[in-house]
Structure 1
Amino acid sequence: MVDSFLQYIQYEKRCSPHTLTSYQTDLLQFTQFLDTVYECKTPEAAIFPMIRSWIVSLVEEKRTPTSVNRKIATLRTFFKFLLRRNIISHDPMLKVKALKVNKALPQFVDEQSLNQLLDTFEFTDDFAGTRDKLVMELLYGSGMRLAEMISLQESDVSTYEQTIKVTGKRNKQRIIPISKRLIDLINTYIQSKKNTFFNNHSSFLIVTDQGETIYPMMVYRIVRKYLDLATTVEKRSPHVLRHTFATHLLNKGADLNAIKDLLGHSSLAATQVYTHNSLEKLKTIFEQAHPKA
């Protein structure tokens, strides 16, 4: 039934390849545990004590609460699928509770440091330099996710309307307005790409030095390379630029609901985490400015 479940979340739920891989990995680990400890060959035959035992083993392996909770979420989805298909008559996950997680505030780059990097750093004027600058400007200028940027097509950019059409989680599409400066950079980059790969002009917007669709690890390397020059924040990843986009907008007075729509969040709860960073800034301003602080 695992194969049927994976097909269900791929074709009916339209989960991303990354999510599909996570589900597949979690269920494989769960199946191996059942077979090794309980000689249970099929995960659909698992009962609550078996599931609880697996969760305890994950904790004992020093897995983070976030990692364990993701695996719990996988099992919840899997057993709900079995219940709907009448494969099982009782959901063994009903008694399972998620682990408590200490929520860390999203890390972000301060506005002055990032603007100084993007405005004054001299990227090389060849294709690679133009591409690297576009990667940095796109992630910070739109707040899109890594996977969303990788899947961008040239046709998703509207020069006239100054927007980008982004396909997010579960194939939900949203339109993000971008600056005239970013539009100009995209046009410069596309022309450079045509000149560099005139015999193999990919429809994907961001490509490697060989003209192939860019891959996650390369984007990580690009972002880390340039953020190393601008910040000392612990995490220097593409997602940090997404956090930075949201935090800077909120600090400038943008409406939280508008930021939610720009980020493609399904609920406001996911966006509200950025208010904590703004509150910290307000506290600092208060302590510096108020005579009774």
Structure 2
Amino acid sequence: MVSYFLQHIQFEKRLSHHTLTAYEGDMKQFSLYLEFQYELKEPEKADSQMIRSWIASMAEEKMDNRSINRKIATLRSYYNFLLRRKAIASDPMLKVKALKTDRSLPRYVEEKPMQTMLDEVEFSSDFTGLRDKLVLELLYGTGMRLAELINLKIGDINLYNNTLTVLGKRNKHRVIPINKSLVEAINTYLKHREEVLLENPENKDNHYLILTDNGTQAYPMFIQRLVKRYLSLVTSLEQRSPHVLRHTFATHLLNRGADLNAIKDLLGHTSLAATQVYTHNTIEKLKKVFQQAHPKA
């Protein structure tokens, strides 16, 4: 039944490849635990006690509560799938609760360091330098996710309307406006991109915007290393990832008075609750201003 479940989320729910891989890993881990601990080869026959035992074993291994909760969410989807298809009589997840987690605020880079990185850090004028700066400009200038950047194609960019279209979670498209400086950066990069493809004719049919130095499609680790390298020049944040630039995009917009609903649409969130987390950063900033400026603070 696990294979049918994975096919369901891939072809019917149309979840992203990243999410599918995570679900598949969770189900494999759960199945191995049931077989080793209970000699049970069919996860659909597991009861709530077995599931809680698996959760307890992960907690004993000091796994982060957020990671455990994600695995719990996978099982909820799995048993809901079985219940809808009448493969089970009752849902064992009804007696399973998510673990408590501390609410952490999104990490972001302050405006001045971001300006320093984009305006003062020296990027080479060759393909590599132009590509690196464009990656940073796109992530910070649009708030797109890592997967959205990697899968962005030249045909997704409209340089006449100054917009680009990304394919987000659950295969939903959204249109994001881009500023003139980003349009110029894209135009300059595209000229050098053509030269790279001429030097690597085996990749001449590659339509992805961001390429490696040999003309292949960029991959997650490549972008993560690139972002970490440049962010290390301007910030001491422990986390220096593409997602930090997404948080930075949203926080800077909010700090400058952007409407929360507009930020929600730009980020591709399905609900306002997911976007409201950024208001906490703004409130914390206001508290600091108050503490520093008010006579009775």
Q: Report the TM range for the smaller structure's normalisation.
A: over 0.9
Residue matched to 1:272: 276
CA shift, 1:210, in A, is: 1.0
Deviations 1:62-89 (A, max 9, x none): 1110011011000000000011111111
Aligned letter for 2:170? Answer: R
Residue matched to 1:196: 196
Paired residues for 1:208-227 under 5 Å: 208-227=212-231
Q: In structure 1, how many angstroms separate the alpha carbons of the residues matched to 2:85 and 2:176? A: 39
Matched, 1:256 2:260: yes
Deviations 1:195-219 (A, max 9, x none): 2212315210001111111000000
CA contact (8 A) 2:154 2:207 kept: yes
Deviations 1:15-63 (A, max 9, x none): 1111111111111111111111111111011111111111111111111
Residue matched to 1:46: 46
CA shift, 1:265, in A, is: 0.5
Deviations 1:136-166 (A, max 9, x none): 0000000000000001010111101111101
Query: Number of matched residues?
Result: 293
CA contact (8 A) 2:196 2:213 kept: no
Superposed CA RMSD in Å reads 0.9
Aligned letter for 1:245? Answer: F
What is the SS of the residue equivalent to 1:88? coil
Matched, 1:21 2:21: yes
Residue matched to 1:130: 130
Q: In structure 1, how many angstroms separate the alpha carbons of the residues matched to 2:35 and 2:46? A: 10
CA shift, 1:118, in A, is: 0.2
Residue matched to 2:248: 244
Deviations 1:223-251 (A, max 9, x none): 00100101011100000000000000000
CA contact (8 A) 1:194 1:201 kept: no
Residue matched to 2:76: 76
Q: In structure 2, how many angstroms separate the alpha carbons of the residues matched to 1:201 and 1:46? A: 49
CA shift, 1:289, in A, is: 2.5
Q: Which runs of 5+ in 2 are unaligned?
A: none
Matched, 1:8 2:15: no
Residue matched to 2:91: 91
Q: Indicate the percent of aligned positions where both proteins have the same amino acid.
A: 60
What is the SS of the residue equivalent to 1:197? helix
Q: Deviating runs (4+, > 3 A) in structure 1?
A: none
What is the SS of the residue equivalent to 2:164? strand
Residue matched to 2:109: 109
Residue matched to 1:142: 142
Deviations 1:252-280 (A, max 9, x none): 01111111110001111111111111111
Correspondent of 1:228 among 229, 232, 242: 232
Aligned letter for 1:230? Answer: V
Question: Structure 2 length normalisation: TM-score?
Answer: 0.97
Question: Structure 1 length normalisation: TM-score?
Answer: 0.98
Q: In structure 1, how many angstroms separate the alpha carbons of the residues matched to 2:290 and 2:38? A: 59
Q: Which runs of 5+ in 1 are unaligned?
A: none
What is the SS of the residue equivalent to 1:175? strand
Q: In structure 1, how many angstroms separate the alpha carbons of the residues matched to 2:183 and 2:141? A: 11
Aligned letter for 1:283? Answer: K
CA shift, 1:291, in A, is: 2.8
Residue matched to 2:175: 175
